[in-house]
Chains A and B, each alone.
Chain A
Amino acid sequence: MILSISWRNIWRNKTRSFVVITAVALGICAGVFSTAFMKGMMDQRTQSAISTEISHIQIHRQNYRQENSLQLYMNESMAVVEQIKKINHVKGVSQRIIIQSMIASAETSSGVKIAGIYPENEKMVTNLSTKLVEGKYFKGVPKNPVVIGQKLADKLNVKLHSKIVITLQDMDNNITAGAYRIAGIFKTSNSNFDEMNVFVRYDDLSRLLALPEGASHEIAIFVDDNEMVDTIQSRIKELIPDYEILNWKEISPELSYLTEIMDMYMYIFIIIILLALLFGIINTMLMVILERRKEIGMLMAVGMNKIKVFTLILVETVQLSLVGGVVGVFTGGLISKYFETHAINMSMFAEGLSKIGWDSMVYCSVEIDMIFNVTIMVIIAGIIASVYPAYKALKYDPAEALRME
């Protein structure tokens, strides 16, 4: 009964209801879309960090991550890699030699992190081979190929097939240098990564460092199912209990933290939008009861009890905001859905975004949870907005209200 009365009431003054509904719809639509946009941006950052930078799981010697010492290598890494490869859902395993060192071109030099890798293994773990903008992945150069980032290549002022020199301290603390030729240049969405990381072949680096055969500092593992990371991590812990085995959240806790904080930030944003809408809704409902003073007085005079009058106003307000909310969620959802497959191009800010590791082609990411929560929040906002006008309506004196013109 009340539902249908209130529904009809809404459409008695079309323009007025339309203004409120449009405001709610626009606000919610914008809220839903920006949330999906931010979420998409965050997901992309996390995804690219996992697939190009840190992988799902990393294995080191205990204390290696604190001391960064060349001496803290794992010696039976080959056998370990073979064992891990057999675990289900493990897509790739790559052992690496890691050294922080200096790289020099004919003109200038820079500090970098050098990773000695097996290209075929690394391909299964990081997607670097797909990020090449020039040259080939460790191919096209007869000896000592190196793959470097675009940003570093610009900094060193080198091109494909240029010679660069890596200077480092070997196992016996001697300073040695090796000449490498650039086989490929990669460009990821993170320019800091491109500037700081250099990849060479495992054997080339191992020889230069005089490392014992099969030694490596890091084993990176890529898993084909995100849900399986923890299970696989504990399986590996059983296999090699003496090493430090960390998943991506432990290696880079700030990544998942960033996602969380962004989620919170987006909810705050939606709450702010709703608060702003609240005032508009209250205003409109006050106008509504003022206009219907006589009518409400009449209803009360013929015996409608106060609870029903209150409910009537409340339901009307909730309906009003919910219509706007549903339209907003729906359009916002549709727009975001469209941009899930069509990237939003922000390349005018590409260099700036790349500096903090973010992609400039953004794909939205719509979450059903979020849409559901927003709808609930709209209903709550409607209820809150109705309290004051409904209370005002109850205060009417039927005798007086009836005498209104």
Chain B
Amino acid sequence: MSNLKIAWRNLWRNKRRTMITSASIFFGVIFATIMSSMQEGSYSTMVDNIVKFYSGYIQVFNEDYWDKKTINNTYEITDSLIKKIEDVEEITHYAPRLESFALASSSDITKGTLVIGIDPEKEDQVTGVSKWLTKGSYLKPGDQGVLLASDLAQYLQLDVNDTLILIGQGFHGISAAGIFPVRGILEFSSPELNKVIYMELSSCQEFYSAYNLVTSLVIMLKDHYDIPIALKKMKESIQSPYDIMTWAEMQPEIVQLIGSDRAGGVILKIILYMIIGFGIFGTVMMMIQERRREMGVMVAIGMKRIKLGNILFIETILIGFLGVFIGILGSIPIIGYYFNNPIRLTGEAAKAMIDMGIEPLMTFSWMPSVFYNQALTIFILTLFMGLYPVYKTMKLRIDQALRA
């Protein structure tokens, strides 16, 4: 305890030096936290766009579906399957889906698109489709109409109450064709979702002649921490002919993209912390040089070298902590503000991001790891820097030091 006290007092013997050093750490920490926060924030937006608005955390497929995504590899939802899913308490909601491609056409414009047959009520609980509705009305049970995503609607030049023609290939090659009124327009935040068609499940099954069949069951959990538990339970009870996949397995590119971006961020932070490390090292050197005589006197009158080294070690770490503390304190209001008010990009910047399939929104993360990772880094850094004064006290030659 007394060591800590002495170290703390020593720090304030040269206020300016302590302040400059902690200022450099403060600055580094603020930058690193804001950067991490933005990165993590953008990853969660990316994942949310996929998980919460489309794929759910887990999906149940026919075991052949993932390799051959055809409407023939579908399955019927049985009561026993439903029971098995409802038995897993981590599952908050689930929704059946029938997905396939079709040629969508207005009068003289056509485009191949993904058609998603949904149970309007259940789907809304899982992915909240209805909240993207900008025009018209949401699907009702047994509805014969469709919902168009906005980019597609614009491409086909269709609006609410217009007629959409769909042509495709149904179950076991039966040709599928139909005319559907447009009930509403959906405007998704995710560019990739913005070109699909939503249809009521039973009319979709009728269109594809895939009566009672679905391609997948979309499973929603409370949050991603529940994935491993729910997955384990589901894998125990639900076996062949079903297959269970998590969102990360379904979207390996996104996981990789996040991985590469995170790696880039880590490199930037390493560079930054390396520079800060040199700054701290400079201070430590200066401290030793300035106090050589004092140290010599102390050792000469019988202070144990190890105790002196210990005090200097604590001093170094304290400077680090001081900088981290004010740094985190300073970054909290900035991150807090942008956490609640994400930056929505416009113009070319937005287009560039949409072009890459990413929502043009800069969100910040409020995750504790954003903050404590910086504290941890600085702590480890100062731990190493602190070894230098210990080494120096051990090698101190009293006769020379006293004459300094």
Contacts and interface: CB of A to CB of B under 8 A. Distances in A.
Interface stretch (B80-88, B231-239, B247-255): B247-255
Contacts of A19: 278, 281-282, 285
A356 B254 CA distance: 10
Given A34-B267, A107-B70, A276-B275, A351 B348 contact: no
Contact of B275 (A101, A108, A280): A280
B275 A26 contact: yes
A167 B352 contact: no
Interface stretch (B3-11, B52-60, B111-119, B141-149): B111-119
Interface in B234-290: 252-260, 263, 267-268, 271-272, 274-276, 278-279, 281-283, 285-286, 289-290
Nearest to A356: B356
B265 to A, nearest CB: 11
A254 B69 contact: no
A275 B109 CA distance: 56
A279 B286 CA distance: 14
Contacts of B112: 100-103, 109-112, 167
B352 A261 contact: yes
A101 B110 contact: yes
B257 A168 contact: no
B16 interface: yes
Contacts of A284: 282, 286
Interface in B31-62: 31
A70 B111 CA distance: 11
Contact of A269 (B67, B102, B254, B268): B268
A108 B282 contact: no
B260 A101 contact: no
B180 interface: no
Contacts of B255: 352
Interface string B115-127: 0000000000000
A257 B348 contact: yes
B103 A101 contact: yes
**Does more than half of chain B's interface fall in helix, strand or loop, or is it mixed?**
helix
A352 B20 contact: no
Interface centre among B114, B195, B278, B290 (most CB of A within 10 A): B278
A357 B16 contact: no
B72 interface: yes
A344 interface: no
Contacts of B195: 111
A276 B111 contact: no
Contacts of A70: 108-109
A246 interface: no
Contacts of A23: 274-275, 278-279, 282
Nearest to B283: A283
B130 interface: no
Given A108-B101, A287-B282, A280 B24 contact: yes
Nearest to B267: A34
A169 B282 CA distance: 73
28 contacts: A16-B285, A16-B286, A20-B282, A26-B275, A69-B108, A100-B111, A108-B68, A108-B70, A108-B71, A108-B101, A109-B101, A109-B112, A111-B113, A169-B105, A269-B268, A276-B272, A277-B279, A279-B21, A279-B23, A280-B278, A283-B283, A286-B16, A286-B17, A287-B286, A346-B260, A349-B256, A355-B253, A357-B356
Given A69-B108, A258-B352, A349-B263, 5 more contacts: A19-B282, A67-B109, A107-B72, A169-B108, A254-B355
